[in-house]
A and B are shown apart, each in its own frame.
Chain A
Amino acid sequence: MLESLPEIRRMLAHDVQAAFDGDPASIGPDEIIFCYPGLEAITVHRIAHQLYQQQVPLIPRIMSEWSHGQTGIDIHPGARIGPSFFIDHGTGVVIGETTEIEANVKVYQGVTLGALSFPKDGEGNLVRGTKRHPTIEEGVVIYANATVLGGDTIVGHHSVIGASVSLTKSIPPNTVVTIDKPSLRFREAS
């Protein structure tokens, strides 16, 4: 695992740059390394994922759930996440075990990359080891509280998923998905 630290550093340098490029409030890499929970979460994830790939039991989950408690960001160590990944704000983000995320993806707080209902075998036990979580192609942005579910769901590259969208089917590249704005009522406060 320690052999992979130089490569993890290279990946994290891209993640820091992605945070700077993706957040106009950031004043520079130092602030991101000190302060950003998204970088903290992806740092621990890249360590835990390395151990997960080496089929080390328990320890990757101990790491990821500790990070979950620290940051409010829940990334299963099995998730495959490409370079230049940025989680802005972060609280409430959930990324499931079989999620695949390509390069240059940005997600906001409350985003869930999750599974649909779990299939069971003939004896009623959960079927494990299948792809249950979505694939997010390169350059996708997913705004706050959006939910993308299902192992067959592919979000095409450079698409944008609007806030609070719930998506359970694939969309082609360069697609913008939004929900109709709810009507608002205004009245004078009593």
Chain B
Amino acid sequence: MATDFRKKEALSDLTDRIVDSYEEIGTINHLGHCPLPNAQEVISIVNDIKEVLYPGYRRRQNLHLGNVAYYVGDLIDSLHDRLTTQIARSLRWAADVRGEDTCSREKIIDFEAARTGERHPDARVAPGNPADARA
């Protein structure tokens, strides 16, 4: 289909109006330097966990007791890193909802410390047991 150049020239104005709406209606956009959990990554994590739970039934075939430990070990190692990242993001989101300033530079470092298991002395993570919620 041929492009209608007359309409394309109006797209920048449309884009401006959409971006303006992000300030006008701030309740359904998340803009900033602290990302939310990534839904596609969470789904990928679920699929990898299912691969661990039901080896041989989902993606990888020709598994046997001689190679399954290598395969599952690689998955578990990857899952640990990815799940921990997503959990850290979700805990930071929860702290943001409570009105805590978790997205300042210092607090980002705190959350990264919590993610890697190094407890920063001033770490402010979600009340309760965020450390227990690590992957």
Contact = CB atoms under 8 A, between A and B. Distances in A.
Nearest to A56: B133
A55 B128 contact: yes
Contacts of A129: none
A12 B94 CA distance: 31
Contacts of B46: 44, 47, 63, 66-67
Interface stretch (B7-15, B19-27, B36-44, B114-122): B36-44
Interface string A98-135: 00000000000000000000000000000000000000
Chain B contact residues, majority secondary structure: helix
B133 A47 contact: no
Given A5-B52, A34-B57, A56-B90, A62 B42 contact: yes
A54 B94 CA distance: 14
A47 B76 CA distance: 14
Contact of B133 (A5, A33, A55): A55
A57 B91 contact: yes
B42 to A, nearest CB: 5
Interface string B42-55: 11001001101110
Interface size class of A (residues with CB under 8 A): 20 to 34
Interface residues of B, number: 28
A8 B52 CA distance: 11
A33 B54 contact: yes
A8 B46 CA distance: 13
Contacts of B52: 5
Interface in A1-38: 1-2, 5, 8-9, 12, 30, 33-34
A176 interface: no
A86 to B, nearest CB: 17
A52 B135 CA distance: 13
B90 A58 contact: yes
A57 B132 contact: no
A59 B80 CA distance: 15
B129 A8 contact: no
Contacts of A2: 76, 79-80, 83, 135
Contacts of B111: none
Nearest to A12: B53
Nearest to B80: A2
